[in-house]
Amino acid sequence: MKEKHSINAIVDPQLRADEIANRKKLIDWICDIGDRLKVAAETIHRAATYIDRIISQNNLKEEELKSIGLICILLAGKLTESDNEVSQIASLFRKNIGNPRINIRMYEIQIMNHLNWDLQRITAIDFINFFLSQGIVFTSDYIHHSNVNEQSASFLRQYVEFFSDLCLQEYEFISIDSLILAGGIIAAGRKVLKFEKVWREELEALTSVKHEQAEECAALILFKYEKLFPKSYMKENVNPNLG
């Protein structure tokens, strides 16, 4: 956590616009699958990292994407899910292929070869879950000169989860260091809820993310939020600068 991190939030110039569009469709789809099967957010976020690595290395056909997405969920699920959830994902893959007796292991090996058999990835959601467990709201926090209450803390968690999904689905965020992205997501949530001091010394100590890093990343997130959800953004009247 003490190592240096930086932001490089530019879209990979090697990916065509149609590839970026296909990537968004696939990520949206695996998120829907995750909701349907009730798998952990960590599983879907880790599967997305596999998908991004594969897309960057291969020219994929659109008809291949869902099968690849399901295998990536399956591989990620073996690290985080129970045997029951893994079995459900495997069943869905067989249904998608249209062959209940398909040899899934063959597909898994193909994907793992593309990934150089490296499945361990720490994602922004992994950092966020740890930070949430430690606490990202403090007794000295204020909103409109009033102490933060349990409802505000609950709303912050919801915004953090929402911005985590937004950053997962939008391609320009994949080149941001996952630790800095986690800090930016927390800062964006606190900013939207109008915490008087958005990035506190306690948060910097907890996350190792500097104020300027959190500010730059949160600004990118809020810019995308305004672009995708202009009515919500205007209603919340977000100031782009961190407190």
pLDDT (tens digit, 9 = 90+) per residue, 83-115?
888 888 888 888 877 766 677 888 889 889 888
Share of the chain above pLDDT 90, in %: 48
Question: In 10 A of CB 69, how many CB atoms?
Answer: 24
**How do residues 182-199 score in pLDDT, each as one tens digit?**
999 999 999 999 999 999
Is the per-residue pLDDT at 243 higher than 70? no
In the structure encoding, which two tokens stand for residue 170, read together? Answer: 């939008």
pLDDT reported for residue 60: 67
Query: Domains of the chain by range and CATH?
Result: 17-114 (1.10.472.10), 124-236 (1.10.472)
DSSP state of 195: B
Share of the chain above pLDDT 70, in %: 84
How far is residue 124's CA from residue 119's CA, in Å, rounded to a whole number?
16
How far is residue 205's CA from residue 234's CA, in Å, rounded to a whole number?
32
pLDDT reported for residue 204: 96
> Quick one: pLDDT band at residue 172, thresholds 50, 70, 90?
confident
Q: Give the closest residue to 155 by CA, choosing from 140, 136, 170, 139.
A: 136
